[in-house]
Amino acid sequence: MEFTAQQIAELINGTVEGDTNQVIRDVSKIEEGRPETLTFLANPKYEQHIYNTEASVVIVNNNFKPEKPIKTTLIRVEDAYQALAKLLQLYESSLPKKTGIEQPSFINQSALMGDFVYIGAFAYISEKAKIGNNVQIWPGAFVGEDVEVGDDTIIYSGVKIYKHCKIGNSCIIHAGAVIGSDGFGFAPGPDGEYQKIPQVGNVILEDLVEIGANTTVDRATMGSTIVRKGAKIDNLVQIAHNVEIGANTVIAAQTGIAGSTKIGKNCMFGGQIGVAGHLKIADQVKVAAQSGIGKSVVKDGTVLMGSPAMDAMQYNKSYVMFRKLPAIYQQLQEIEKKVSEK
């Protein structure tokens, strides 16, 4: 990797302030900047680092106004974070990609394999599986019977994809994720024992979905558990049977979504959120971390916080009162004491 500041600016539609010929050979965090590296400033909390960073070039927003002299070259863009993302995507796409089939691995003779596929050692491809073009299946992954994997998808080490599941194009499934395990379905009997309800559905991941490490997406009891196009699921998330996640929705780590809940598109869920089953969540809903959702959300764009979750503004007002409860209680005790003394 070696580019000049001007070449980088042309890639991200930016404007250079400083040395257009400054050479960049690597990237760095702004607080750990090194000479001949590129970094960025998008969050104002990190602004103090731009005045002493050793990074040679910093990508900043067009509206950034320095309060002190800056010794580094700037590239001004509309959105620094998106510009950096674009650069890193270009860099990653330029790296050589693995192809070929490593041994030992197992590919059933009935499986259909696309062109330029990479199958890592100890991977297992079951009967009737269909693997698209440019797919990467890393060592130790399991692809079950009749599974379909779309073009340009990456399946990392240790991923398990159970039978009949369908994975779209350009998906990424990180290490340890399990796609299509049984939903948690049991019927209580008269003797108190639970009888397992067979889970005969599947999981569908549409195009451009990313599933984090050690996340589980359970197969449907009947029909499909669906993660719609462009959704991004973090590590350690539990998605139960017959759930539907809307397009371009993002869900942070340790969130659990109970069965048959439907979440709309373009929603944003923080970490450690609990969502009860059989609910409907509208589009563009935002939920703060550690919230608990126990009822459906019908209004698009709602912002929720707390457990049980409520409107974020109401929660903040309530929390102010909650913090005052010890003082209020003390005042009540003093009033009771004065009343009793009369």
For residue 63, CA distances in Å to 75, 77, 179 come to 12, 9, 44
Report the candidate in 239, 234, 196 with the shortest Cα–Cα distance to residue 216: 239
Question: Of 315, 274, 300, 268, whose CA–CA distance to 287 is shortest?
Answer: 268
**What backbone phi and psi angles, to 5 degrees, belong to 91?**
-65, -45
CA dihedral of 154, 158, 163, 166, whole degrees rounded to 10:
-20
| Residues annotated as catalytic (active site), given as ranges | 241
CA dist 217 and 200 (Å) reads 14
Distances (CA, A) of 225 to 31, 174, 264: 43, 19, 14
What contacts 76, CB < 8 A, 6 or more positions away?
A: 14, 15, 17, 60, 61, 62, 64
What is the C-alpha to C-alpha distance for residues 216 and 159, in angstroms, rounded to an integer? 10
Q: Give strand pairing partners of 216.
A: 178, 238
- What is residue 32's DSSP assignment? G
Total length of the chain: 342
